[in-house]
Amino acid sequence: MGLTLAEIAVEIGAELHGDGRIAVRALGTLKGAGPDQLAFLANPKFRSYLEQSDAAAVICTPDEVPFSPVPALAVADPYKAFALISRFFDPAPVGPTGVHPSAVVAATARVSASASIGPNAVVEEGAEIADGVTLMAGAFVGAGSRIGAGTRLWPNVTVYHGVSIGERCIIHANTVIGSDGFGFAPGRDGWTKIAQVGGVKIGSDVELGSCCSVDRGAIEDTIIADGVIIDNQVHIAHNVRIGRHSAIAGQVGIAGSVTIGENCIFAGKVGIAGHLDICDGVQVLGMTMVTRSIKKPGVYASGVPHDDHAAWRKNAVRFRQLDELFRRVKALEKSSGDKP
């Protein structure tokens, strides 16, 4: 059905330049949008695309309005405004209210009448499913767990027992929350498993990508605070704590008992060793291995950038020679009387 430009302007707090009666029925790019699609310009270097756009309207800053051949919605932050309005055009299916006949819901579970429980979903004893929750096909909610209002679990999400998930969260397919942490005591006869008696507490407005693993705490809970966003295939070990509004990209691995502050960003494949503290406002670049606590906000990196193979082989040999070269330099300094 779409929205009119006047309605969109109200939703995103924009100043409308053009006919507010024009209807928008889909989203598009500056280059590809047609006369019923909404586009945006966030970076002035793409202004040439704006000048040639056939979109129904463009979200842009006030400075770009004179260059727009189509109606414009002027805002301070076009990218955020586009994100806000995108939810009205989201094609994700909305499940019907009620419990599907093939779902299994325990007699002691509390399921809101406004929730949607999909095919083959399971809700165990004492679990609580709040208003407007969607459990898609095959989702599992363990005993005593709670799913907050408006949260959506995509197909085959598994929530173990004793897990609390806040409101308006999105948990994507095949993610597992509350599995046992990797806790074992070594001995002469092998490994003795340590029972993981903690749980997992996830705040509101959290999103977890597909195929993530969030382990339950060994004694105290694993905690993910409000507004955290987590990409696909991320592992969060037991007793990790992640502060509000932090962002974690794909394939990051966080070892046990790590505490991460607020507004942190971790790029792809970052590895974090166990029992470390990372303060607020830290950004860690891709493929970095974090082996000690970070106590000062800033940008951190490690690893070796790619190079052509021949140069890489030479540098790899030189790297192995660093210790010998260091010793030779120290010996030369000592023999010449130079201070280190």
What are the tens digits of pLDDT across the range 39-83?
999 999 999 999 999 999 999 999 999 999 999 999 999 999 999
Express each pLDDT in 212-257 by its tens digit.
999 999 999 999 999 999 999 999 999 999 999 999 999 999 999 9
Q: What residues act catalytically?
A: 238
| For the chain, percent of residues with pLDDT exceeding 90 | 93
What pTM was estimated for this model as a whole? 0.91
Candidates 30, 7, 11, 27; CA nearest to 19 is 7
The pLDDT-based confidence of 1 (bands split at 50, 70, 90) is: low
Buried b (16+ CB within 10 A) or exposed e, 275-306: ebebbebbebeebbebeeebeeeeebeeeeee
Read off the amino acid at residue 50.
Answer: L
What average pLDDT does the chain have? Answer: 96
E-state strands within 108-232:
110-111, 116-117, 122-123, 128-129, 134-135, 140-141, 146-147, 152-153, 158-159, 163-165, 170-171, 176-179, 184-187, 190-193, 200-202, 207-208, 213-215, 222-224, 229-230
Q: Is the predicted pLDDT of residue 339 greater than 90, yes or no?
A: no
What band does 94 get if pLDDT is binned at 50, 70 and 90? confident
For residue 135, the model assigns a pLDDT of: 98
